[in-house]
């Protein structure tokens, strides 16, 4: 339900055109070496890190903050990355949950992927560990925490919290 004076955005393409990316900032970057690689170890397979997305909409309806947490572990290394993505709208809006979930999959995941990749590779290099390869990141269909578990089209490696007003 839309609040008085706010436009309800019913289509993800309208939301993509309306929101402007304001900032992407790291909130956490950590790595732990788990084992020392041996010369005869097989190469690492590309990794599909676990993503969790938590969207928050400002009370005035003009700012959207998305907290992204990402963790990955292989036989040598565990890496955790936290990123905060900030969007601004030129007018107060109400964003239904299904539109927000689509936006996260089509825009936010693609926007943060280079930052996550850079953090993973940087942390591995600092610890002098094999550089983890991330699978190609492309727009995807996500499933919110409230949706049915049996939807086959949604990406299993991404968790989405229901949007909250902050």
All domains of the chain in start order, with CATH: 18-33+47-133 (3.10.420.10)
DSSP class of residue 32 equals E
pTM, entire model? 0.77
Residue among 28, 39, 135, 121 at smallest CA distance from 77:
121
Higher pLDDT, 87 or 74: 87
Among the residue ranges 46-50, 71-75, 76-80, the one predicted with the least confidence is 46-50
Taking each continuous run of H as one helix and of E as one strand, the counts in the chain are 3, 8
Residue 150: pLDDT above 80?
no
Distance CA 44, CA 59 (A): 45
pLDDT tens digits along 104-148: 988 888 899 899 989 989 998 999 888 777 776 666 666 555 544
């Amino acid at each position: 339900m839309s609040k008085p004076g706010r436009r309800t955005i019913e289509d993800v393409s309208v939301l993509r055109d309306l929101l402007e990316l304001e900032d992407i900032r790291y909130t956490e970057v950590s790595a732990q070496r788990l084992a020392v690689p041996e010369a005869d170890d097989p190469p690492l397979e590309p990794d599909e890190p676990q993503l969790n997305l938590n969207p928050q909409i400002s009370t005035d309806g003009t700012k959207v903050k998305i907290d992204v947490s990402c963790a990955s572990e292989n036989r040598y290394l565990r890496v955790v990355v936290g990123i905060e993505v900030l969007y601004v709208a030129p007018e107060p809006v109400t964003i239904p949950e299904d539109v927000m979930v689509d936006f996260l999959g089509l825009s936010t995941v693609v926007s943060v992927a280079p930052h996550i990749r850079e953090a993973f590779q940087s942390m591995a290099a600092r610890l002098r560990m094999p550089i983890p390869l991330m699978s190609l990141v492309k727009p995807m269909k996500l499933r919110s925490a409230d949706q049915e578990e049996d939807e086959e089209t949604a990406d299993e490696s991404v968790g989405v919290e229901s949007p909250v007003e902050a």
